[in-house]
């Protein structure tokens, strides 16, 4: 395998991309339910040499709706279900803050994506960022990542509202994104 493959990375939002979203926040492992096909899509990307990082706003922590232990338990469920289909997420970055904290990591600020690019030593210009909300795409576009909108989660609303960053590609779901990325690779 060429060394360049170790630099292949996809950055995913979590809620509405990997798992079903809720306006009432995902607060417990019981509420964390994978979107059909999303875990298999991650496994397909892994098999093609992609590492996967998650960048997720989790202001429910800052709002006191759940704590870091609950978040860890959700992610343990995610990792376990993913492992069962042969997939792997290499890192989960999350912002626990609310807008009032004025941090640099809460999307649309690009802080989390910047940390991920540095940690994984990847070139943002060839590293897809996938999200269902405008702020996911804005965070990516701020650093020159190619941006991809999925229509799951808040995706339909995001698409209808318009004003997507230039060049944003639109996919029905994470499965469609993965198949498209892998098809383009084999061109």
What character string, x for contact with Zn ion (CB under 5 A) and - otherwise, covers 91-110? ----x-x-----x-xx----
Is 115 a binding residue for Zn ion by CB under 5 A? The answer is no
Listed residue (141, 128, 142, 55) closest to 96, CA to CA = 55
Residues annotated as part of the active site: 13, 15
Give the span between the Cα atoms of 34 and 82, in whole angstroms: 9
CB of 162 to Mg ion, least distance (A): 18
Specify the residue, 133 or 134, whose C-beta has the smaller distance to Mg ion.
133
Backbone angle region of 144, left / alpha / beta, with phi > 0 → left and psi within -120 to 50 → alpha = left
- CB distance 96 to 62 below 8 Å: yes
Q: Which stretch binds Mg ion (CB under 5 A): 5-13, 91-99, 140-148, 178-186?
A: 5-13
106 contact, one of Zn ion, Mg ion, none, CB 5-8 Å limit per kind:
Zn ion
Question: Does 103 appear as a known binding residue?
Answer: yes
Binding site for Mg ion (CB under 5 A): 13, 15-16, 132-133
């Amino acid at each position: 395998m060429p060394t360049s493959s170790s630099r292949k990375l996809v950055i995913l939002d979590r809620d509405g991309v990997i798992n079903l979203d809720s306006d009432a926040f995902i607060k417990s492992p019981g509420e964390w339910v994978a979107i059909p096909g999303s875990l298999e899509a991650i496994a397909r990307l892994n098999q093609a040499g992609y590492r996967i990082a998650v960048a997720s706003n989790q202001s429910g922590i800052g709002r006191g709706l759940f704590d870091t232990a609950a978040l860890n338990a959700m992610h343990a469920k995610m990792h376990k279900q993913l492992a069962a289909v042969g997939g792997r997420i290499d890192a989960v970055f999350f912002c626990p803050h609310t807008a009032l904290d004025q941090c640099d990591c809460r999307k649309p600020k690009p802080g989390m994506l910047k940390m991920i690019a540095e940690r994984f030593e990847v070139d943002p210009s060839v590293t897809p960022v996938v999200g269902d909300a405008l702020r996911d795409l804005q965070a990516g576009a701020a650093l020159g990542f190619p941006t991809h909108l999925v229509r799951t989660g808040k995706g339909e609303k995001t698409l209808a509202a318009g004003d997507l960053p230039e060049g944003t590609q639109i996919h029905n779901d994470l499965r469609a994104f993965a198949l498209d990325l892998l098809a383009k690779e084999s061109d």
